[in-house]
Structure 1
Amino acid sequence: MNITIIAGARPNFMKIAPIIDAIIQKQNEGFNIHYRLVHTGQHYDKNLSGTFFEELQIPYPDINLETKSGTQAEQTAAIMIGFEKEINQNPCDLVMVVGDVTSTMACAIVAKKAEIKVAHVEAGIRSGDMRMPEEINRIVTDSLTDYYFTTSHHANENLLNLGVNNDHVFFVGNVMIDTLLKNMPRFKKPDIWNLLNLKKKHYLVMTLHRPSNVDEKKQLKSLITQIASLAESYPIVFPVHPRTKIVLEKLNLKFQNLHFVDPLGYLEFNFLVKNALAVITDSGGITEEATVMKVPCITLRENTERPETCEIGTNILVGSDNKKIENAFKTLLSNKWKQGQTPELWDGNSANRIVNHLVEIYNLQ
C-alpha cells in the first residue's frame, strides 16, 4: 500500500510526524505499507529549516511543490496544479491530508478527481464561523473524505449529523498531542528565560495572529493595553507573529511588563507554556497543548472548533469582550481557575491507532 501524505504548513509536519513513525514501525513488522511525504510549499517559513526537522525528528519531505503564497484562489489553484502532476508521476492508493489549511482542501479535491481514496486526520471539527477560511476548508475536505480520523466525540457527532457512514469514522485522538508528549522531556529553556529573569508560574505567554484581533490598529491597541494592565506585575512574553508585527510597529506600545520577542522554536515555546501561569491566545492548537499541560488558557475568540478544551480542559473563550477578559484575569489571579482534565484518547497513541485502522481497512499483510 502506498500512501501520499500532505503537509502544507509548519503545524502539519508536527501532525504527520507521529503517523510516519507509526508507518515505519509497521514496515519493520513486515507490513506492506509505504509513504511519500509531499510539502505543498503553501507557507514559506524560514523556520522550516534543517534545524526544525532535526529538532523534532521529523522526516524531510520527498518533494516540495513550492506553490508559495497568494490569494486564496491563487494558492488553491497552484497547489492543485502542482499536486496533480505529483500524483500522475507518483501514483498512490491513498492520499492523507491533515488539519484544515488550504493544502488540505486542494489536495483532497485533486485526489478525488483522480479517483484516489482520501483520509482526513482531524476530520469533523467545526467552529461554525464561515468567516474563517479554515472552516470552509474543513467542510469541503470532509465532503470528499473516505476515511475520517477524529480527535473528539464532538467531531464524530458533526460528521454523523452530515450523514457520514459511521463505519468510516474512526475516533483516534489527537496526533498533535502525540508530538507534544514525545517531545515534552526535550523542552528547552529559551535565552529570554534568563534575560527576563522569568520564574515558574510567575509570567504569562501571549500569542495573537487572527485578523479579527490584529489587523485593526485600534482593536489591537485596546486589547493589549487591557491585558497589560490586568496582568499587574506579571511579565507577559509575547512571541510576535509576522502578521502582528506589521501592525505593532505602527502602534509604539510600551508597557513595563510586556515583552515582545521573536518567534520561538517548538521546544522553546512549549517550555514557556508549560511553566507559565497562563496562556493568552487566539490559536486553536495552543488551546489543545495548554489543556494537556494543565495550563490555564484564555482564548481571545468568540468560538472554537475544539470545544473539548473548554468543556474538559483548561480553556475559556472571552472573545474581545472587556468584561469577560477582566473576569478571566480575576479568576486566574485569585487562584480559582478550573482544574482541567485531558480529553479522551489524547494519550500519545493516536498515530498508532490511525495506522492500525489503515492496516485493517486495506487488509495488509
Structure 2
Amino acid sequence: MAPKKLRIRGEAQVPDESKEPATEDEKWLLVPGKIENFTYTGKNVRVPGSLIGAAIRKYWPGMYTPVLGGESKLAYTWEDFEIAPYPGFTSAADAVIKKFWRNYRVATEHKERADVVLRNMCRKLTRQQWYNQRITCIGHFYAEQGVRYTKPEIVQGLAPAMTIEDFMSVVPHWADNNKRAAFMELVKNWVGENPDFKAVSDRNKANRGNQGTHTAGSSSTDRYRERLGKKLGRELGEMEAWMHMKLVTPRPNEPRPAPEMKPVMNGAGRHWWEGRRNGWKQPSGRRTEQHEVGVGAHHGGAVGLGLWPSRRALNGKAAGALFLTGGASAAPISIRCSGWELRRSSSV
C-alpha cells in the first residue's frame, strides 16, 4: 500500500496581470529603507520580498549564453539576470523590476533611492531562492512519501540525503518544461557534483554563525524595530531591537552558541578571552541577558569580566559603551560600542 501523501503548501507566485492594480493610486505605497528594505503602512500589503522572490523564480532564465558563440552558463546571481535575455523584455532583470513596479509605488522624491534599494534586495534574494528551493524540494519529496520534515530539521541535515533523480521528481512549476536541464544544474550543486560550488559551500559553512534563531521572520531589522516599538508604545534603539529579535532559545535540533575567542589589546599586551552566555542580574537587580567573560592572565593575575547592556541602551537610547576593566594591577581598558558595558565581575 502506497504511503498517504501529506498536504503541502504551494509556493508563492506573482499576481496575474488581471489582478494587478489598474491605477497608480491603487498600488501599495512603499518607503525605501537605508540599504535593502522597504517599509509600508496599511492593511493587506504583500511583503515586497515575497513578490520579488516569486518574480525571480518566474523570470529565471535558466541557462543563457553570456558571449555570442560561447559556452552556456547557469543563471545564479542577479548579475546573471541583468545580462540574460528574457522574451518580451530587455533582460530577465528588467522583467522582475517591471513586475515589481506594476504592484508598488513610492513618492516621487524617493524614486531614486527606491531603485537602489530594489536592486540591493534583488541581489540578495536571487541567491536565496536556490537555497530555499532545495529545502522546499526536500520537504515536498518526503511529504509525498508520507513523512514530514520541517525546515529546521532539513537545515540540520536530519532528512535523508536525496539523489539527483529524487530532486528531479519534484521539479517546481517555474522550472518545468524548457528549464528542466537548467534545474538539473542547480540540483548538481545541491548534491555535491559541482566541485567549484562545493568548495564555496564548504567555506561558507565554516564561516556561518551558530547563534540560534530569531523572531523576525522575513521582516527587515528596520521594520521589526518599528513594529516592536508600536507594540511597546515607545521608540526603540537599534541595539535593543536587535537583542529582542536575536535572543531566542534554539530548539533542540538547532545550533547552540559556541565559545568565541577574541583578542583584547592594550598597552600592556595581548589578552585572549572566551565569551559564554549565562543568566545573571543587572546591577539594578532586574533579570536580563548576560555575556560573562572567562579568566585571562594580566600581569600574572586573573582578570574577571562581565558584559551588561547599558541602561541607556535598554531605554532605547542610541548611546552606550562597552568597558573592559583588567585585574588588580591593570589599568582600565575601554572599548566603545553601542549599548553595552563590560565590567569587572567577581563571579569569575
Larger RCO, structures 1/2 (Cα 8 Å, 6+ apart): 1
Q: Smaller-chain TM-score range? A: under 0.3
Normalising by structure 1, we get a TM-score of 0.21
Which of the pair is proportionally richer in strand? 2
Normalising by structure 2, we get a TM-score of 0.22
